Amino acid sequence: MPERTMQGDPASPGAAVGRAWQQAQQIEVGEVVPANEREHECEVAHAALADAASALGRVAASLSPDEAAIIEAGVLMAEDPALLSAVEVGTVTDGLPAGQAIIRATGQLAEAIAGIGDELLAARADDVRSLGRRAARLATTRGAGLPRDAGGPVGDRDCILIARDVGPADVAELAPRLAGIALVGGGATAHAAIVARSLGIPMVTGLPGEILEVADRTRVSLDGAAGRVIVQPSAADARAAEDDMRGRRLAAELARSVRDQPAITPDGRRIMVLANVSSSAELDVALGAGAEGVGLLRTELAFLDATAWPSEREHRAALEPILAGLQGRPAVVRVLDFGADKTPPFLQGVSERGLKLLLANPEAFTEQLQAILLGARAKDVRILLPMVDHPEEVVAAGALMRLAADALGIEALPPIGSMIETPRAAENASLIAEHSAFLSIGTNDLTAATLGADRFAANAARVYDPRVLRSIARSVVAAHDAGIALEVCGEAASDTVMLPLLVGLGVDEVSVGAARVGEVRSWIRRLNAEQAEGLARSALALDTADEVARAVRSMRNVVPALSA
């Protein structure tokens, strides 16, 4: 195939170039199974689904709570009675071979899900098809599954996976071999795309079906931000993609090389840089770049598909791998922040969110508190309460924790902190701080609530709006007056405009995405804290976010990183 550009949809940013790799997507049609062998064929099909579920479970165990939840949904699907019944009909009644019966049954289920017309459920349909392909291959080949498929370009590291669609578990397992992913199906909100972004793998979705005609080992370049794939790219296009790949790798290596250098400004201000971690892989990246611990562990993301409140055992299974990987470093564990965009099926229609919802369900709250208490033994763990508005809520949560600890025979309690995420919380920050061991600002929600904006709308609001800055300043003063630390765990901590303002306002800790840890530490080492303080004071008196941005960018001596 000559050079050809194909346009799709951006799904995961970054450029890549490599050899095309198309894994077998179809199961060959076989003859009708004799009647006396059909029961055995049904057993083979059910065993293959069970093996596929086990494989998915192993993948999920190595991932973040939110990524694991996506993949663990496939485990539940493999055990769905309706799916098993459809497979039985396919094998026993219709005489289909195990692989064909699985493909037909999962295809029917996927079509039923996709037909509902909901975008999130459509992503589930892709997951069902992925499960079907995985189980069918196991049933047909009795091999070890997709990641060890001999049909791939063995020995190649930077492959561009081309497929009609792919499951999130496939992305996670194949990550070490992949430079990029090009799909006909899927989308930016599909679960495979979520995992790809988390792992830093460029992805393009929504490509024309002609992409499937590309032969294995054909050279392909991909731009995940532009949603573009070039088959047989020119030397210039290939070189540009190689430069992008090299730049990402060099940035990661540089962060690792200076990970032992403290995040201290030239004039002596120390800022603790932690990570928002949601997988073992992310934890490795964060620690490799010098993260001093986990500043936000979002426990609810492991249970977004839950059909009931998680049990203590389920909480511990999600929590303990992350704590073990920290090897004594501190971790801030936020209790379930269900509600709004993070509402599992069993809570649909419930208006409460965060701590208020937990206090309204004390038995479920106690299950999580006990799991944290057990996992926190001999570890540096702090507990974070989400969406706090009043000090009475902190007191009530502390009382429940004391009861949970007494039931377990645990005397020492982990420190309890409160999240400041609403204007009301910022107004009550001094009272809340009196009952908290630390404060943490969730800038995403605080910005949306302060400015009356949709936090999920593009460019809906900017965190450096003076009204938001004043709430942050008020919270910093409240924390320091109470003699406790203040952390910022929202995305603002890795924003080039916002970081010098946060340092200038006096925050003690920042927690950022794993991939941004090294960059943020580097910025802090080049910041002039005293001048940042003057900048922050002047920003508080401005009227608009645009004025604040211009003020920050005009002071290149405060943060040289902004001079470009």
Contacts of 15 (CB under 8 A, 6+ apart): 202, 221, 222, 223, 224, 225, 240, 241, 244, 245
DSSP structure class, residue 299: G
Euclidean distance between CA atoms 163 and 476, whole angstroms = 50
Q: Which among 372, 285, 234 has a CA at the least distance from the CA of 63? A: 285
| Contact present, 336 and 309 (Cβ < 8 Å) | no
* Tens-place pLDDT, residues 245-303: 988 787 767 767 777 788 899 999 999 999 987 666 677 778 888 999 999 998 887 78
Contact predicate 290/517, CB 8 Å: yes
Same domain, 496 and 466: yes
Question: Which domain, by its residues, includes 135?
Answer: 35-147
Tens digits of residue pLDDT in 420-429: 999 999 999 9
Same domain, 409 and 554: yes
* 350 and 275 belong to one structural domain: yes
Angstrom distance (rounded) from CA 192 to CA 124: 10
Do 106 and 46 fall within a single domain? yes
Q: How far is CA 143 from CA 38, 42, 60, 340, in A?
A: 21, 18, 20, 43
Q: How confident is the model at residue 50 (pLDDT cuts 50, 70, 90)?
A: confident
For residues 321-346, average pLDDT: 89
Q: Residue 458: its pLDDT value, please?
A: 39
Residue 156 has pLDDT above 60, yes or no: no
CA pair distance 297, 319, nearest whole angstrom? 9
Q: Which two tokens stand for residue 354?
A: 């965060």
Q: Where are the alpha helices (DSSP H) in 351-497?
A: 354-359, 362-376, 391-408, 423-427, 429-434, 443-451, 466-481
pLDDT value of residue 154: 38
Instruction: Look at residue 245 and tell me if it is in a domain.
Output: yes
Q: Which amino acid is at 157?
A: R
From CA 507, how far away is CA 488, in angstroms rounded?
Answer: 7
Query: Is residue 256, in this structure, part of any structural domain at all?
Result: no
Same domain for 126 and 161, yes or no, is no
How many Å apart are CA 438 and CA 330, to the nearest integer?
14
Q: Is the pLDDT of residue 37 over 80?
A: yes
49 occurs within a structural domain: yes
For residue range 62-84, list pLDDT tens digits in order. Answer: 666 666 666 777 777 788 888 88
Distances (CA, A) of 149 to 18, 21, 27, 141, 160: 19, 11, 14, 10, 15
In a shared domain, residues 413 and 478: yes
Tell me, what CATH number does 58's domain have?
A: 1.10.274.10
> What pLDDT band is residue 537 in, cutting at 50, 70 and 90?
very high
pLDDT of residue 152: 45
Give the model's pLDDT for residue 200: 77
Same domain, 124 and 175: no
Strands 331-334 and 203-205 turn out to be: unpaired
In a domain? residue 391: yes
CA torsion through residues 203, 209, 215, 218, sign: negative
- Identify the domain boundary among 250, 276, 305: 250
Distance CA 10, CA 144 (A): 32
Q: Are residues 189 and 228 in the same domain?
A: yes
Q: Are strands 509-513 and 485-488 parallel, antiparallel or unpaired?
A: parallel
Residues recognised as catalytic: 191, 489
Q: Is the dihedral of CA 438, 293, 65, 364 positive or negative?
A: negative
pLDDT band at 330 (very low <50, low <70, confident <90, very high): very high
**Separation CA 430–CA 487 (nearest Å):** 15
- 120 found inside a domain: yes
Q: What is the pTM of this model?
A: 0.65
Residue 40 resides in a domain: yes
Mean per-residue pLDDT over the chain, rounded: 84
Average pLDDT score over residue span 496-522: 91
Return the percentage of the chain with pLDDT > 90, whole number: 47
Q: Is 203 helix (H, G, I), strand (E, B) or coil?
A: strand
Per-residue confidence (pLDDT) for residue 64, from 0 to 100: 62
Residues 403 and 527 in one domain: yes
- Is it the case that residue 54 has pLDDT exceeding 90? no
Task: Supply the CATH number for residue 353's domain.
Answer: 3.20.20.60
d(CA 206, CA 218): 20
Q: Domain holding 178: CATH number?
A: 3.50.30.10
Taking CA atoms, 507 is separated from 3, 16, 247, 362, 484, in Å, by: 52, 38, 31, 33, 11
Last residue of some domain: 87, 117, 147?
A: 147
- Of 147, 177, 208, which residue is a domain's last? 147
Q: Within this chain, do residues 206 and 274 fall inside the same structural domain, yes or no? A: no
CA distances to 279, 285, 308, 463 from 304, in Å: 16, 25, 10, 27
Question: Are 77 and 177 contained in the same domain?
Answer: no
Pair 472, 508: CB distance under 8 Å: no
Count of structural domains within the chain: 3
Give tens-digit pLDDT for 440-494.
Answer: 999 989 999 999 865 444 344 689 999 999 999 999 999 999 999 999 997 788 8
- Residue positions counted in the chain: 564
Instruction: Tell me if 168 is assigned to some domain.
Output: yes
Q: What pLDDT digit, counting tens, does each position of 97-143 carry? A: 888 888 888 888 877 776 666 555 566 776 787 788 778 877 865 43
For residue 30, being part of any structural domain is answered with no
pLDDT above 60 for 155: no
Mean pLDDT to the nearest integer, 25-41: 74
The 10s digit of each residue's pLDDT in 308-321 is 999 999 999 888 88
- Selection from 395, 399, 401 nearest residue 418 by Cα: 395
For residues 348 and 490, state if they share a domain: yes
